[in-house]
A and B are shown apart, each in its own frame.
Chain A
Amino acid sequence: MDFLFQSILNGILAGCIYALFAMGLTLIYGVLNFVNFAHGELIMWGAYFLYFLMGKPFGFPLPIALIPALLLTILLGIGMDRFVFKPLRTANRLTLLIAALGLSFLLRNGAQFLWGAELRTYGFEIKRGLRILGISITLNQVAIILTSIVCIVFVYLLFHRTRLGKSMRAVSDNLELARVMGIDSKHAIQFAWVIASVLAGVGGILLALDTNLQPGMGLINLVKAFAATLLGGVGNIWGALLGGIVIGLAENLGVLVISPGYKDAIAFGIMVLMLLIRPSALLGRQE
């Protein structure tokens, strides 16, 4: 029984992080109508930016390094759009897809060049777990859940309480109609990149805190984010949140019946299944 509760907790933990990735992915999909396959690299670079600022020569403590690390992630996201996707705004979906894949590859190799392919950690071991009702949870994991909740509440307030957030949803619904209303769609698109980058950066850092850093961490988590996005209905941010948690739970409950070695296959399976049901998702909304 304890084992079941432990799996549920682990599932929610993983799900929170997947949700952060998926919300950003689906947000960009919503405003620009394409799947950013380089989103995983925002996750990975976000984590490495923090590693970079905490290491030599800076040696900043985590709370101080956090803000500049996220700012650098935002810069990377905005840069992606400015130099790769914006010039291709009117290109066809396949071109965008290939550009995103190429960018992902480039950024992954860039990280490997700078930091090597080996696993790294932020270097503090807070593995001392709390035990509540027979379930063990580390302080890191408590931080992961709290931070995710803060991010989700922040996104909720932004999208439903501010004019900029509402404009972003309007652009996501119908870009041309938004324009007809005098909504500054360029501004809204840029802001969507900021939010997506922050969510990716925060998620990447949380993931690295819980496990480790590695140049391939973005790619594998992109698959999960993409599966969550498909599950929640592409372009639907709250669907992505739910989809992330479902995938996290499915993985961690799945290992009760199949070998943990196949954990990643579960998200992959869900993704393939959803693509079979809704193949159009890969190439954007077909009107």
Chain B
Amino acid sequence: MTSILEVQNVYSGYGKIEVLHGVSIQADSGEIVCIIGPNGSGKSTLLKTIFGLIKPKRGVVLFSGRDISLKEPEEKVGMGIAYIPQGKNIFPSLTVRENLEMGGTPLHDSRVIEKALQDIFQRYPVLEKRMKMKAGSLSGGERQVLALARASMVQPKLMLLDEPSLGLAPKVIEEIYERINAINHAGVTFVIVEQNARKALKSAHRAYVLDLGINRLEDTGERLLNNEEVKRLYLGG
């Protein structure tokens, strides 16, 4: 196994406020790595730091062995990293089709974008049916599917997902994770942040528990799921 992402002892935050106090995580190529932890523990901040929306004050972020700590998000997209933020992660006033086209921005050439779009429609017939609809009129689950499909437009190697199950019904969460597993089987590595973590831990090969901006635990998803402390503190008993 080769390591596709390595976050080594990263310190990061907003202005003078430090949120991450030396966090380290690692993901092997082809893995689904899950990061759980209570609200405010810095999970979103960690993803933003990996993606370059915030720059780490100390520590490094390696992507396929290259130091990308200080690179801009635009550059990272080009290198094969996709990021789906928490919450508002689609363009509501654009159509479904236009949302996907926007995801294809780094491909530059219109014909290449069109080709990627057709591939996506083949894998996601739901979206093809809705392609002329405003994305804002989609249901919560459909929005997540759209966000996933849009990130897939550029065939990234690594996808960073921030709370993909936020606000969704259990059945819909099930469906989203089926989609994630399918993309993962095609070889894409995932780093998924979840607060509500049961489903995520089931899918994850490995997982980290983050609390107050530092690493708490690291294990396979399976074992963390059965860990008494994790159950009590982070899975609601």
Contact = CB atoms under 8 A, between A and B. Distances in A.
Interface residues of B, number: 23
A178 interface: yes
Nearest to B106: A182
A173 interface: yes
Interface residues of A, number: 18
B74 A179 contact: yes
Given A163-B110, A174-B88, A176-B85, A181 B105 contact: yes
Interface in A161-195: 163, 166-167, 169-170, 172-174, 176-184
B83 interface: yes
Contacts of B74: 179, 182, 184
Nearest to B153: A181
Interface stretch (B89-97, B121-129, B199-207, B211-219): B89-97
B221 interface: no
Interface string B92-104: 1110001001110
B68 to A, nearest CB: 15
Contacts of B42: none
A170 B51 contact: no
B88 A178 contact: no
Contacts of B150: 181
Contact of A166 (B51, B83, B98): B98
Given A170-B102, A174-B88, A182 B77 contact: yes
B65 interface: no
Given A179-B73, A180-B51, A181-B103, A169 B85 contact: no
Interface string B61-78: 000000000000110011
A170 B100 CA distance: 11
Residue among A174, A179, A181, A183 with max Cβ neighbours from chain B (10 Å): A181
A179 B72 CA distance: 10
A172 B94 CA distance: 10
A240 to B, nearest CB: 13
B102 A166 contact: yes
Contacts of B91: 169-170, 173-174, 177-178
Contacts of B78: 182
A183 B73 contact: no
Interface in B123-171: 150
Nearest to A160: B98
Contacts of A173: 91-94
24 contacts: A163-B101, A166-B94, A170-B94, A170-B98, A170-B102, A176-B53, A177-B85, A177-B89, A177-B90, A177-B91, A178-B91, A179-B53, A179-B74, A180-B51, A180-B77, A180-B83, A180-B85, A181-B102, A182-B73, A182-B74, A182-B105, A183-B102, A183-B105, A236-B93
Interface of A: 163, 166-167, 169-170, 172-174, 176-184, 236
Q: Which 9 A-B pairs have the closest CB atoms?
A: A182-B77, A173-B91, A182-B106, A182-B105, A182-B74, A170-B91, A170-B102, A183-B105, A173-B93
Given A167-B105, A169-B93, 7 more contacts: A163-B101, A166-B98, A166-B101, A177-B85, A178-B102, A181-B105, A181-B106
